[in-house]
Amino acid sequence: MKYLFGPVPSRRLGLSLGVDLVPYKVCSFDCLYCELGRTTSHTSERREYVPTRGVLDELRSCFGDSGFSCDYVTLSGSGEPTLHSGLADIVAGIKEITSRPLALLTNSSLLNDPEVRRAVQPVDVILPSLDAATPKAFQRLNRPVDSVRIESIISGLLALREEFSGKIWLEILFCRGINDSDAEIEALTKAIEDVRPDKIQLNTVVRPGAYREAQSVSLDFLQQVQRRWGERAEIIAPFSSSQLNHGQQDSLQQIIDLLQRRPCTVQDMAASCAMVPAEVVKFLDLLKKEGKVKESIHEGETFFVAG
């Protein structure tokens, strides 16, 4: 499959069939913490980066197999999915192909565009990111293309809340020393009050990011923020590998076998195991948590080794 990956274990969506709408790594941001590595095509241009028909054909064939199952179909992958200009057709096509719930992971940068908001109306759950609510922290952490401002992101989220009847699970990823100050929490609190997400998902750096400045905050800090934001706020809990099916266990084992032979980057593993980087990252998450892999930095690049 060229455009689908998984189902992979997702901390938020159970078993998620990923739909990769842009090639590695097309994004309007270049986040310090990006687990996929540095952005190579930094753009806000909307294009048909992968063929709409090809994506829908793969989905049809996948759901044509009666033994296939997943908890969510998720628009995500190797960059920012809303950059795909055929988003409306893809969303509508998925809804015709399957009744499985559809999720969208987005960095929120294009939600200010009414065409994008119209395209995502049929989605069941949108998981937009809002890591910072002040220009300084936003620029430092998310490193957007020049045309994207934090004010337009917040207004896009507000418009989404008004127009969208599905669930909004807002993700906020904290990096130590960047968006964890009292002033930043205050600004985020105000944005959250306005956007009224159904859930607020608190996260921090759990895998090596694209840049070394991306450092995690403590669990204690996340718990303080969770208490402040109340019942809707949750700290995203890791998934366990015992919940994987046979195919996923095989993929996990493929990665372990490779790492026992040589240290690899996420890109090396994706190429050797015929997976997309986002899929490799999900499996690495489990392996790290279970102490089966370690990471090491060599000449600024993150390598993984069997632990």
Binding site for ligand SF4 (CB under 6 A): 27, 29-31, 34, 36, 39, 79-80, 107
Whichever of 44 and 251 has its CB closer to ligand SF4, that residue is 44
Nearest distance in Å: CB 79, ligand SF4: 5
Whichever of 34 and 225 has its CB closer to ligand SF4, that residue is 34
> Taking a C-beta distance cutoff of 8 angstroms, is the pair 180, 133 a contact?
no
> Taking a C-beta distance cutoff of 8 angstroms, is the pair 17, 63 a contact?
no
Is 243 buried (19+), middle (13-18) or exposed (0-12) by CB count in 10 A? exposed
Nearest distance in Å: CB 97, ligand SF4: 25
Give me the torsion for CA of 74, 76, 82, 83, rounded to 10°: -150
Nearest-angstrom CA–CA distance, 305 and 307? 6
Whichever of 34 and 160 has its CB closer to ligand SF4, that residue is 34
Nearest-angstrom CA–CA distance, 219 and 103? 27
Q: For the beta carbon of residue 215, count every other beta carbon within 10 angstroms.
A: 16
Whichever of 36 and 270 has its CB closer to ligand SF4, that residue is 36
> Taking a C-beta distance cutoff of 8 angstroms, is the pair 235, 5 a contact?
no
**DSSP strand pairing (293-298 vs 125-128):** unpaired
Nearest distance in Å: CB 29, ligand SF4: 4
Whichever of 119 and 141 has its CB closer to ligand SF4, that residue is 141
Nearest-angstrom CA–CA distance, 290 and 120? 36
Whichever of 107 and 251 has its CB closer to ligand SF4, that residue is 107
Nearest distance in Å: CB 65, ligand SF4: 29
Nearest distance in Å: CB 40, ligand SF4: 11
Nearest-angstrom CA–CA distance, 238 and 234? 12
Whichever of 35 and 180 has its CB closer to ligand SF4, that residue is 35
- Tokens at 29, concatenated: 């941001």
Closest CA to 94 of 83, 103, 106, 85: 103
All residues at 6 or more sequence positions from 16 whose CB lies less than 8 Å from its CB, including other chains:
6, 7, 8, 9, 10, 70, 71, 72, 73, 74, 76, 103
| Residue 264: DSSP 8-state | B
- Tokens at 261, concatenated: 């032979």
Nearest distance in Å: CB 110, ligand SF4: 11
Whichever of 80 and 184 has its CB closer to ligand SF4, that residue is 80
Tokens 């993984």, located at residue? 304
Nearest distance in Å: CB 161, ligand SF4: 20
Nearest distance in Å: CB 285, ligand SF4: 14
